[in-house]
Structure 1
Amino acid sequence: MINPFLEVVVPYAAFAIFVIGVLYRIVTWASSAVPLKIPTTSGQHGTLPFIRRTIHDRIDSPYNKWEVVLRMLTEIFLFRSLWRNTKYYVYGHEHKDRRWLWGFAMLFHWSFLIILIRHLRFFMEPVPEPFIFLTEMIAIKAWVPAIYVTGLTALIGLGYLLLRRIFLGNERTISLPSDYLAPILLLSIIISGLLMRYIYKIPLAPVKELALGLITFQIDFANPPDVHWLFLVHLTLVCITIAYFPFSKLMHAGGILFSPTRNMPNDNRRRRHVNPWNPPYVGITFEEHYENYRDQMEEIAERGYNFRPEVE
């Protein structure tokens, strides 16, 4: 009875938690008010037409929506903020920059994205040509089975990110238990996947049968495919990560799109930003003001001051 539970109930439950949790977080972020205009900028602000702005200025200090889109693309695909947010050390009057964090973060995220795309072939029959081409492109066929580069690079990149958090004092001080849980889960998924391919070499036919059954809702709950025990471990880890995703810092994958420091144009001089939390302004007429301060107004009028508005 353990196999139907792990192969059917757990994946569907994890996916339901994932969808509901992600939608809840997105709706919460989208409905949150932004009281201030707070884009982080480091480039030339858009002002007068004769002041030249380079492509770097347009990305670092976006002035309109198209420049914001360009900035968000560099944030999502090139980790622009991580590239710029680095520490610099001076040794012997020599300026050296350290961008290892950016490099290994790019290595892990792009490798993991390719792994996810490549895994889509288990849910498709027949497999589309682009997925076959991607698989062939990243495979080293000098060994049997062929070695997929992205599996190793994802392991190296994630290993660096985890070890950095463990051994560097500043990062270790500000880290919470949840900061270790997500990398450990992802690392366990990658390691179990590598073991299945290169060590145990489990049969893939039952795995694809299970994947197609789950995606088409045609799985036989009473008699699911008989998959390898290591795949059950791998699948369980994946389901735990999917269910944990909306409640963890892994949601930065979607949260970057809702960050006001990134998605707002720096156009304070052209357009006034109205705080949606401000209470509605209710003015008063001159007559009401006069009635409130009649004594003071009459005293001023006796001195010869004309404070009544002139109406033409």
Structure 2
Amino acid sequence: MALKLQILYRGPLSSCNYECNYCPFAKRHESAAELKHDRQCLERFVDWVAAQTDCELSILFTPWGEGLTRRWYQQALVRISQFAHVRRVAIQTNLSCSLDWLGEANAQRLALWCTFHPTQISRREFLQQCQMVADRGVSFSAGVVGLQENFEEIEALRAELPSHAYLWVNAFKDLPDYYTDEQVARLEQVDPLFRLNLTNHPSLGAECVAGESSVSIDGDGNLRRCHFVSGVLGNIYGSDWQAALSRRACPNLSCDCYIGYVNLPRLQHDNLFGGRVLERIPRATHWQGIHDRQQAIEKVNAILQTSPPLSV
């Protein structure tokens, strides 16, 4: 049976065309030499993906900066989307780039994880970009950081997005007790899964599939369990990288980022998302319509109640 593996790729790119004050990423500009190095790393990774025909791969690009303003990331997505052994390829993006390249990709294998930044782009412009993605037949989710000053903008975005588009809300966790109970309930009406993101999930010693069926790879090919566990398991450019894959307990006290905690089986993300965890698109029955949203909220609460804090 072919190895099924989800990959998070993060190369050395660390520049962005946006300057959001809450964002820890992309606070610098890169030299031409640094950008060339990032491109070489990415092209080497794509060549490696092309050769893994004995695996079924799903790949999410999670750059520190904005990748799609760079032509080589567009080309990488186009090329990978053509590989028969790749189930899905996706990227986190602010969606500020030209979208003409989408026509070159296999829309059935491509997905975009699109983040709206109200201080950097108008809602109208962001919605136009989302519509262009939808018109190309490409799956996408849209999302935003749940800052209190943006609540009305978030609700307006939900109202104006296509009904098939899921809108996730990332909890702002820089300040303790940032949300009141009423504010949490308000955001749940936009994103019924919000409380899962709001929670810092205790994870020390917990069963986790990161390092077994999901891994993180950097620009040098170093293989890690996830972005949040620093130990290197091996290197994909060696001949025995698959031997490093196994299930291990989490060594961290807690996990508070979506691309980390989705690997905790007890949170049931496979069930919530129906195999579309990579592109952050849950089952439509968990968020379309008032009745569906309420059922999803109740399901999330049930998951959290049956997942008590682990002893540490």
**TM-score with structure 1 length normalisation?**
0.27
Structure showing the higher helix proportion among its residues: 1
**TM-score with structure 2 length normalisation?**
0.27
Structure showing the higher strand proportion among its residues: 2
